Structure 1
Amino acid sequence: MYELEQKLANIQRDNLYTVIKVLKEGNFGRTEKVVNANGWIFVRKYFYEDSGQTENEYSILSRLSHPLLPKVYDHYELAGQKVLIEEYIDGVRLSDVISRNGRLPFYTALGITLQLCSVVEFLHSQKPNPVIHRDIKPDNIILQPNGQIKLIDFGAARNFNSVKNRDTVLIGTVGYAPPEQFGFGQTDCRADIYAIGKTLTHMLTGIAPERGKNNIPSNNKFPPQLIKIIKKATEFDPDHRYVSVKELSKAIKGLIPSRIIKNNNVFGNIKPPKRIYPVYCNLPNPVKILLMPFHALLALILIFGCGGDMFTPTGFGFRDDLLKILNDLDFALLCILPPYILGFNLFNLNERIKFFNKNRQIKKIVIVIVLILIAGILSSCFESYHTAAYIKSTNSAVS
């Protein structure tokens, strides 16, 4: 009876979400972008074959809080499949950026690596046992519009156990995972250091690392100190690697000029895509292209239609006529178009303007209020001038 109630409860939990888009589907599972009744967007993961990764990912992430980690909200079983509900992250995978653009600019790659070191150092600092990710690679790193990364996919993560001499489950991605992760010993924090070194190599060369091949960048393209850092981080023997992620991070910071770190300019070379519609707009491209003239037409209607008799002479001279036109235009340009563009995030303002990285809704509301006040002040000034012109004209007619 209890099992039946539990199954019905899980069905109800699953029905709380509506699928927006299937993000990824393979032999082992399906990942969906979903929305609930309140309009909140989540990621729902179905695991067809699960050896404890779902519970493992949920148990680790549910007790951790860090700005570079995703949040998890629920996990349950449905029709023999494990289901995980996670935070939806607006961004693009680092692997997709490399595939599209090739190798990343030098300081951009170092900046991403420093963020990666920051979140991994947080994982390794957990008590009583450090959390080891064990699957760090560009495919599990999401670049957000504000320049921050998110480290995702904790299905392979584990807590370090000093008693064991090797891992119980051999798991990881060939090329990024260290040798000890495939049965040569127990993985500890130095396994993630190895993966960070391989990920940095991938960003700098644009070539994914392969097992048994040396992908270390050549000395004639990069500083010799960087080559030493990568070699030390990716040593075959864990005892020859950096002792901690903090030590690796300190070495990388030594390669970045202080002015770049101070100005937070390491992401300056990754520009947001030039698109009118935001990344979460799921309309087909032909529909988007057809709608573009509609936006332009709507803008013209708003500008020339809001004033009604915008170009009708006032009878008090050219200056008064010009002020009347400007007064009608400012209503459209300040009170109607900004809320329209900001509300629909046209031209990807959230991505392109750093000001909107945080608290964007509040900031947009404040901007709209300020623009309305400015429009009111300008309208008041015109009315004052128009009244003065009317009184002057009346007095002239009387005399």
Structure 2
Amino acid sequence: MAAARRERSFFLGLLPLPERRAVAEALRTETVGGLLLLAAAVAALIWANTPWRDTYEQIRDHRFGIPALGLQLSVGHWTAEGLLTVFFLVAGIELKRELVVGELRSPATAALPVVAAICGMAVPAAIYLCTAAAGGGSLAGWAVPMATDIAFALAVLAVLSSHLPAAVRAFLLTLAIADDLGAILIIAVFFTSDLNFAALGGAAAGLVLMWALQHRRVRGWWWYVPPGVTVWALTYNGGVHATVAGVAVGFVLRTTREKDETSSPGERTSHLLRPVSAAVAVPLFALFAAGVGISATALGEVFTRPEPLGVVLGLVVGKAVGIFAGTYLAARFTRARLNPDLTWADIFAVAVLAGIGFTVALLIGVLAFPDPAAAEQIKTAVLTGSVAAAVIAALLIRRRNSIYRRLYEEETRDEDGDNIPDVYQQPGDRSGTGGTGE
């Protein structure tokens, strides 16, 4: 028993069947959502660089809502503060699931993705701070290059890979979940306005009410939507970014099943809202956040001004170095280690791919730089850095995919057509038992 306890834990080894299904469902949905996100971002860029740019800006800046409740927002703010809350609600549920019953519930298995995520946030922030300080720029954007866009990254991985081990996708997903938790904490702690403690107290009361409802086994979405919307509105009016309300609600929902349940409240909510998040909330946010004017002058400023240059270097260099180094350190100095199906070349490719920091990076950029002109430069930098990371990662992933494809072809080759791969047969053997004949 003592020897078994001393034995290292495999990270992303054979998962229980419910966990495997949960990971597979998340991968499928986020991949599709990433493709929709890509389409929305491209549409926004095209629209913002055509003669109809004024129409785009008028729609994005059109304000509507309920002024008496402090909810008179522009379309762009409704997507960032409202619709994106659905994305963070689903992320909150996934985070809690991983912490309670998933890969992050045990220190041994959580060490690798958590350390990798922390290093993958700290190194980009440090690179930004050094670049901005050296150029005499603003240090306010230190958090912009810290976040990984899981939907975008999985979409790129899905398009380019067909033979990579499933553990590569699962590693990226688990890493991004830990990364999301860090980004959420950063938004909650560093990007808040003057706090209204009465409103925040009301939001906390709403969370307690939702917890009590599910504790008493109250089912039916109509019981939860009103307090959920109230928590969101009070959080916004309390001075905290409204997306934090989505995470808070996600953490309140129970993710473990009781004896007579086929699914937990968290599972049911995630199942219902994940398609809305992937197909509606995130693409609409991208549509009204990624519409920046692209010109030779704007691109030139990305590489000549310290703030946008720090963002680009943080995403392209900082993410790759931070995640790869963090993974190595965790595997070297903790009880966790990689699944044997993964190689360090796979990890480096994933680390580069994690430099795609679209959704949350754009959100933090707007929060860090309220000035529209500065925000446009940061948006251009986020897009430039994300595209650069995607291109470099694409080259690495295609190479890894070709290697795994050759291995797959060798393992499945059946030149004699007997439905037994040749690798299992010695020359002259037709039994499929490796020549034993038994």
Please tell me whether Structure 1 or Structure 2 has the larger radius of gyration of its CA atoms.
1
TM more than 0.5: no
Looking at secondary structure, tell me which structure has more helix per residue.
Answer: 2
Query: TM-score w.r.t. structure 1 length?
Result: 0.25
Higher strand share: 1
> Which structure has more RCO (C-alpha within 8 Å, separation ≥ 6)?
2
> TM-score, normalising length from structure 2?
0.24
